Chains A and B, each alone.
Chain A
Amino acid sequence: MNLQLVTCNHQTSALDIRERLAFQPQRLGEAYATLRARFPESELIVLSTCNRVELYAAHEGTEHAPGHRELAEFLAEFHKVPLRDFFDDLQEHTGAEVVRHLFQVAGSLDSMVLGEPQIVAQVRDAYRQAQEKESSGPITSSLFERAFNVSKRIRTETRLAEGRVSIASVAVGEFGKTIFERFDDKQVLIIGAGQMAEETLRYLRDEGAKEILVANRTQERAEKLAAEWGGKAVPWEFLDQFLGTADIIVSTTGANLVDLERFRRIRKKYGEKTTFILDLGAPRDFSPKIGDLDENVFLFCIDDLQKICDENRKSRLKEVEKAQAIIDQETESFMKDLSHRATGPIVKRLREQWRDVVDSETDRLFKKLPHLERDRSEIEKSIERMVNKLLHPPLEVLRDESREGSPHGLLDALKRLFRIGD
């Protein structure tokens, strides 16, 4: 059995390289067709997400199995990116390391945000697509199915996935969802067009937010962001009106925008509705006193959110060891199964072959020396022990070698030495 992996992920390469190597969904069929044509005897699975591009290859034997270089060349040719541009960014794994890596990916230990739940769905989707394109096979199937079990074990046996760790996800997922039941009937006002605002907007959209208003001093930038997210740009001069009507305000300008008096006037005019304010600007956009203005204003600044993120991150790190132990255990178990699958038939045939020799020789012996018949049982047991003792050292070496992958060299040697045919 031969397992190979080339990976280009957020730990090894910059975003621009990952973007160039990413497989667009519409081109995935073409990618699998090319791979099948190049490596017809291999099982291949492509995992392409925003944080990683990975190519898993499995092969029953060693002959015609694709090597790392060939897989990298496929990436270069398919995406028309010179190999030298990304070769140093690639990570290569073989045998047990491939298994361990996939388990870490599916268990979300290799994710940018530790414990994030989306990755397992992405791995599952990649596997499903490989099945549809008839590119997976028995080895990759058992590998990926096991990866899903590992992911499930990590989710249930550790607390790795508990608590959010990015500012935007804490803001929306922890606080926003504790205030609001639904987001599709809420008015969201984005002030400024910063990266943090955009990330928060992404989470709000995922939660169903529909009515998005963008206000920015530069109207063009507001219009651009609004167009990107299906929102509406509103004139900066009408900011007070929307500060009064919005349910959720995300502000990132860092320009001391709203003081207590201004917000008090706005509340007086538009009513004291429940308002969730995310002040992600540094320095703050909203005076901290606004949080105490009335019971229905929930104001969170970046420090409040960062504190929660750090606490969650710390508690997650404690769980990494537990998750890693599960992965080690499962990797060993999977490799054992895999090696049993590879070495089992050879060992069986070797034992059968020796058994045949023993049987024919003992029969001959008892025919020539019939007086030994009364001790037949003892003699047979003795020969059995000899055979076992003689076979023990090579089989133990075979078992040790197969822990880290299929011992093709040894298997070939055994086949040739003992003339074991396929």
Chain B
Amino acid sequence: MNFSRIGVGCFLATYAVVFGLEWLRLIGRSKINRALILLGGAIGLATHTTYLIIRNSATHLTPLLSSSQDWLLVLAWLAVVSYLFLTVMDRDLAIGVFILPIVLILTTATYFVSDAPNRRLDSLQGWKMLHAALLVLGMLGVLVGFVLSMMYLVQQWRLRHRHLSPAGFGLPNLEKLARLNRWAIMIAVPLLTLGMGTGVGLGLYAKTRKESIPFNDPVIIGSSIAWLAMFVLFIWLITTPRTTGRQVASLTLWAAGFLMFTLVGLQVATGKKIFDLKTWHVQAPVSQDLWLARHAR
């Protein structure tokens, strides 16, 4: 079997089909639909994983340290793993309707971002890895918070309009959603802060090695603003004595939405495929065939 033929389109299409099947839950609980969802999700995840492994073996870099494209794919991969785990554990939980659109956006965005590995500071692989891992995990926390907030608002809307959950399209109760949302933010923001901190450290270290990394880069400025929004939310959460679930959900939705939009938007804007915003953070893209051929040698 020729695995090198696996492309982003393979698992993107599978996730799109699974997303469609998730909406069929509204009609009612069905064992066949659940089986198809799990099968589709598993096939998508398997092809997604294979693709990342192929990229990893071709670049000799972990996907986190490779390109913007791989970075987004890792984030989408983590979201799919979380989705499948929760769907297996709880047959009624309709988390796919909320999380799969984000997976689809992240995966689609990879078509517009650079696929070339960034070779700057290659001698500091460990620190670069820590920087990227902290940011990806922080982003996963933000993504989870965003999904939980959406679920909270939908559940609250249902209650206020006296609608019951259709069988097979369940959502957790408001209290649990609010608690998990709070925890997602409390974990995500410190991880993002540490990720940003290691990035600053790497930048300062680079200056001592005459490898200039300017801090007035659009990716750094944009990310910092988005991080600041999340940090303000974090401070508000720990300092405000009586917050309601609705307040937390609404603010998380805005802050997390802004962060995700900014980070993905910046990757697309600097991807040099449809925009050409100058940044040292991203290498100029190369075609995949050319790139694989170059690295196969």
Contacts and interface: CB of A to CB of B under 8 A. Distances in A.
A153 interface: no
Interface string A144-188: 000000000000000100110000000000110111111000000
A179 B176 CA distance: 9
Contact of A177 (B160, B162, B173, B246): B173
B167 A159 contact: yes
Given A181-B173, A308-B164, A274 B159 contact: no
A273 interface: yes
Interface of A: 159, 162-163, 174-175, 177-182, 271-274, 291, 295-296, 298, 300, 304, 307-308
A38 to B, nearest CB: 49
A274 B174 contact: yes
A5 B246 CA distance: 57
Interface residues of B, number: 19
B6 to A, nearest CB: 39
Nearest to B245: A274
A179 B164 contact: no
Interface string B176-195: 10010000000000000000
B32 to A, nearest CB: 15
Nearest to A300: B162
Nearest to B172: A181
B167 A274 contact: no
Interface of B: 155-156, 158-160, 162, 164-165, 167, 172-176, 179, 242, 244-246
A180 B246 contact: no
B244 A180 contact: no
A348 B175 CA distance: 67
A304 B179 contact: no
Contacts, number: 49
Contact of A162 (B167, B172, B175, B244): B167
Contacts of B174: 178-180, 274
A271 B244 CA distance: 10
Contact of A178 (B159, B179, B244, B245): B159
A298 B159 contact: yes
A162 B168 CA distance: 11
Given A159-B167, A181-B175, A272 B244 contact: yes
Contact of A179 (B165, B173, B242, B244): B173
Nearest to B175: A181
Contacts of B164: 163, 174, 178, 308
Nearest to B163: A308
Given A178-B155, A179-B173, A296 B162 contact: no
A273 B160 contact: no
A295 B246 contact: yes
Contacts of A178: 155, 158-159, 164-165, 173-174
Contact of A180 (B155, B156, B162, B173): B173
Contacts of B175: 179-182, 274
Contacts of A179: 159, 173-175
The 4 A-B pairs of least Cβ separation, nearest first, read A181-B175, A181-B176, A295-B246, A304-B162
Nearest to B247: A295
7 contacts: A159-B167, A178-B155, A178-B158, A179-B159, A274-B245, A296-B246, A308-B164
B160 to A, nearest CB: 7
Given A178-B173, A181-B179, A273 B244 contact: yes
